[in-house]
Amino acid sequence: MLIGPDGPVGVVPTEEALRMAQNLGLDLVEVSPTARPPVCRILDYGKFKYEQKKKQSRAKTASSVLKEIRVRPKIAAHDLEIRIRQLRHFLEEGHKVQITCIYRGREMVFQQFGRDLLNKMVESVADIGKVERSPQMEGKRLNLLLVKK
């Protein structure tokens, strides 16, 4: 199957496809070798490689974005559901997610509430995410880092 610069051409013998590509001053590139018949395209190979490389680098930079979700130890049930939904969405998009539990005043005495909250959030997204950095206290904040599995 041959796809030319103007659109699909049809099933063409290899020699004829090569001749057509040379006449246009372009290259014949096999796009899908496993298909029956194999799919080939007439295009500028240098430009094709450049666009592929650019697409890969764009995908790589998008996945390294760090998102943060902030919660308090005494969060309401509905608010927690929304934060978990947000967390799931970020992980599905391939982002790293930092969950920060912020303590105020006497809440520091009951640090276990925050740890339990973070564990509950991790369990709710265990099917798509995993812990990269376990919960750590940094001042009045308890931080945890999650990544997509």
Task: Provide the edge-to-edge strand list for the sheet that holds 66-71.
Answer: 66-71, 96-102, 141-148, 129-138
Instruction: Please indicate, yes or no, whether the overall pTM of this predicted structure exceeds 0.95.
Output: no
Compute φ and ψ for 71, nearest 5 degrees. -135, 165
Average of per-residue pLDDT across 133-143: 94
Q: Domain limits of the chain?
A: 2-60, 64-148
Average of per-residue pLDDT across 3-10: 87
Which CATH fold topology does 64-148 show?
Translation Initiation Factor IF3 (3.30.110)
Under CATH, which number does the domain 2-60 receive? Answer: 3.10.20.80
The pLDDT value given to residue 149:
86
Average of per-residue pLDDT across 21-25: 92
